[in-house]
Structure 1
Amino acid sequence: MKKKISKNLVQFIFLTIFLILLTGCSISSTALNSNKKEFKIAHVTQETHIWHQASVKFGEELEKLSEGRFTVNLYPSSQLGQEKDYMLLLETGALDAAILTNGYMSTREESLNAWFLPFTFPTIEEAIAMTETEESQALLETLNKQGVKGLGFIFAGNRHILLSDDFVHSPDDLDGKKVRILGSPIMQMFWEHLGAGPTAMPLSEVYTALQTGVIDGMDIDLDALMTEKYYETADHLTITNHMTFPALFVISKRVYNELSKTDQAIVDEAAKRAIAWANEETIKRETETLKKLKDAGVNVTEIEDFSPFLDAKEHVINTYTKKNELIKRFVEKANQLRGEKVEYNKGT
């Protein structure tokens, strides 16, 4: 009897072959010139997205700082599979670096859910400022045990609510609505507490799901809304700023540790410049993209009274600050930066 080969097995075989090919190319390149290196970088977004453009900027800075010794080869739009596949390649050193969504990485490291605490950052500027704190750096350091070094956080903007046929002014407007979310326990908890029906699905399926009514709307940042053109199938956007949405720019620890101290410093500086550029660009895009969406016919409103959402906010924050000390320290620091002193779960 013939045995059916599973999809996961086929993907594993493909990744293994690809890994061998990439490793072989790296060895050949090193043998030709030990001072030159091509950095292979992957991410899941389209080339118009800010995360791709951050990768391009990193390549430019890397080449400049290394005086042409270092170059990059980019693999956007999930060309190398999904983020779990990237982690396999990063751990072995077959993939040099990647931009990974905080949504995926928070399923591997609980403390990264700190970024998803609802209504913590009213503006993207405040979220970006938070990355300079010790509490934010502590989150990056948790990645060391996963075979990658965190170079920094790159933002796509704050999250808002897009629905097919209505705006959201209170949780009552979400009652029974099927809302696409990232596959994250903290997001699941938040949306369920609001009364919605959170539905996790890959981005590649969202456009059709909106078009056919499989979902009623989604939790989305403005950049992805514009680049993926979801507004063509759902045109009621409520500006909520209910969550922020960073990605983690990471490099394989195996690759990084093989570099000289001088070259490590070059990588660090190139990443620092690229991240700073991308985050400034994100701030500018928030206003520009919103105008473009309105020009494209999207109906837009903004929540003025957040009090109906505070119960969901406190439920999620109290749950996660009790579970994780790094999350507790993070949210208290975020409150402090806004001039608020709020202590969670004191004595637990």
Structure 2
Amino acid sequence: MKTRTTITTAATALALALPGAGLAETTLKVSHFLPSVHGIHQDFIVPWTEAVTECTGGEVQFDISPAGTQLGNVARQQEQVMAGVVDIAHGLHGIPRGRFPRSSLIDMPFLTDDAGAATHALWSLLPETLAEEYEGLKVLALHAHNGGLVHTQGTKVETMEDLEGLRIRTPSPAISSMLEYLGAVPQGLPPGEVYENLQRDVIDGTVFPWDPVASFGLNEVLDYHLEAGVYTVSFFFVMNERSYAALSPEAQSCIDENSGDNLVPKFADWWDKWDAPGREGAVEAGHEITTLSDEERARWRETLAPMMEAYLAEVEAAGVENAREIYEMMQEKIAEYEAANG
């Protein structure tokens, strides 16, 4: 027995001398709503978890649940991370409706069609303007996608008149209002259900940037694409504060080093990369791709002016008294980004 104790003690001493040894391994649950073929999963989520695991010397491991898993429902990302069902979640601000009314103002039409500009605006305004929407959460990143398109099946869209009566999938309250004012009938659907509903003729089209067209295989059920670039949609990447507080100081530092200011600037280039396969696939499939004309864009702006006023009033009535001020600050931050980046 004495010999065994001596050997065990020596082995323990040797283990504690090794880097990272003696620390309890922690496995954090991460959920998001996109398929594992999407760039969000392959270029962002997986490399982020690998970088944190390496930084912690293996102390922190990750279990990722993408679309198609029990934890991959887009409508449940915020509630799951708040409740601690998952430790980290990536989700859409606009689904479910009303959870992030301040942050969702970035979805307003004609603010920008650039992922980098919208992302810069959100991240810049987080500390003093948007933070109250994330109580109980550690915000690892906020970001947005490139300008959205109108993708349709069977009906070519070039004007407002072409949209009249079309059932179009919508990602957020602001885009729903935009579609209504343009004459379409917005249909609230998770991204993963668009293919089936197009295939079954339940909807006539969808608004998306190019990237989900590839990752959800939508070029198989679409015919036309209008590069409108009149809106963007925003996302959160957040961690339960209790989960963060339970980590060692070293692990917390690793989370911090791979998030925030070191993560947010990557989304502009990432989204350009993620959009490319969707457009290339449409060209290869022989689809017709058109661009919203300057004249039609001016008509859309005029038509949507009352919608934007009404939407701001609605957000104010819901309790965000400074909604117009936030909207103006977003405009300023976008202009700031665009001036600095040509």
Smaller-chain TM-score bracket: 0.7 to 0.9
Q: Secondary structure in 2 aligned to 1:189? A: helix
1:100 is matched by which residue type in structure 2? G
Residues 91 and 325 of structure 1: is their aligned pair in 2 closer, same or farther, counting only changes over 3 Å?
same
Contact 2:106 2:330 in 1 (8 A): no
Residues 177 and 92 of structure 1: is their aligned pair in 2 closer, same or farther, counting only changes over 3 Å?
closer
Is 1:283 the counterpart of 2:268 in the alignment? no
1:179 is matched by which residue type in structure 2? I
Among 189, 198, 205, the alignment partner of 2:177 is 189
1:49-96 deviation per Cα after TM superposition (whole angstroms, max 9, x unaligned): 122121102112202222222221111114124245444442333411
Task: Tell me the residue number matched to 2:64.
Answer: 74
TM-score, normalization: structure 1? 0.79
Task: Tell me the residue number matched to 1:90.
Answer: 81
Task: Tell me the residue number matched to 1:16.
Answer: none
Task: Tell me the residue number matched to 2:189.
Answer: 201
Cα distance in 2, alignment partners of residues 339 and 92 from structure 1: 37
Residues 126 and 98 of structure 1: is their aligned pair in 2 closer, same or farther, counting only changes over 3 Å?
same
Is 1:128 the counterpart of 2:119 in the alignment? yes
Q: Secondary structure in 2 aligned to 1:321? A: helix
Task: Tell me the residue number matched to 2:26.
Answer: 37
Q: CA deviation at 1:326?
A: 5.1
Cα distance in 2, alignment partners of residues 277 and 337 from structure 1: 18
1:14-36 deviation per Cα after TM superposition (whole angstroms, max 9, x unaligned): xxxxxxxxxxxxxxxxxx96543
Cα distance in 2, alignment partners of residues 181 and 75 from structure 1: 24
Task: Tell me the residue number matched to 2:150.
Answer: 161
1:258-295 deviation per Cα after TM superposition (whole angstroms, max 9, x unaligned): 23444323212222345444442112333454234312
Corresponding pairs, count? 306
1:201-243 deviation per Cα after TM superposition (whole angstroms, max 9, x unaligned): 2334322221232211111121111111112111100011121
1:298 is matched by which residue type in structure 2? H
- Unaligned segments of structure 1, at least 5 residues: 1-31, 341-348
Contact 1:180 1:217 in 2 (8 A): yes
Residues 328 and 57 of structure 1: is their aligned pair in 2 closer, same or farther, counting only changes over 3 Å?
farther
Task: Tell me the residue number matched to 1:46.
Answer: 35
TM-score, normalization: structure 2? 0.80
Residues 105 and 259 of structure 1: is their aligned pair in 2 closer, same or farther, counting only changes over 3 Å?
farther
Residues 33 and 75 of structure 1: is their aligned pair in 2 closer, same or farther, counting only changes over 3 Å?
farther
Q: Secondary structure in 2 aligned to 1:167? A: coil
Cα distance in 2, alignment partners of residues 299 and 328 from structure 1: 38
Cα RMSD of the aligned pairs, angstroms, is 2.6
Alignment of 1:142-153 (within 5 A): 142-145=132-135, 147-153=136-142
Cα distance in 2, alignment partners of residues 254 and 149 from structure 1: 9
Q: CA deviation at 1:128?
A: 2.9
Which structure has the larger Rg? 2
Residues 263 and 334 of structure 1: is their aligned pair in 2 closer, same or farther, counting only changes over 3 Å?
same
1:80 is matched by which residue type in structure 2? Q
Contact 1:46 1:77 in 2 (8 A): yes
1:208 is matched by which residue type in structure 2? E
Cα distance in 2, alignment partners of residues 279 and 64 from structure 1: 25
Q: CA deviation at 1:113?
A: 1.9
Q: Secondary structure in 2 aligned to 1:255? A: helix
2:324 is matched by which residue type in structure 1? K
Task: Tell me the residue number matched to 1:178.
Answer: 167
Q: Secondary structure in 1 aligned to 2:113? A: coil
Cα distance in 2, alignment partners of residues 41 and 96 from structure 1: 6
Q: Secondary structure in 2 aligned to 1:51? A: helix
1:142-189 deviation per Cα after TM superposition (whole angstroms, max 9, x unaligned): 3333x322211244433110011333332111111111113x433322
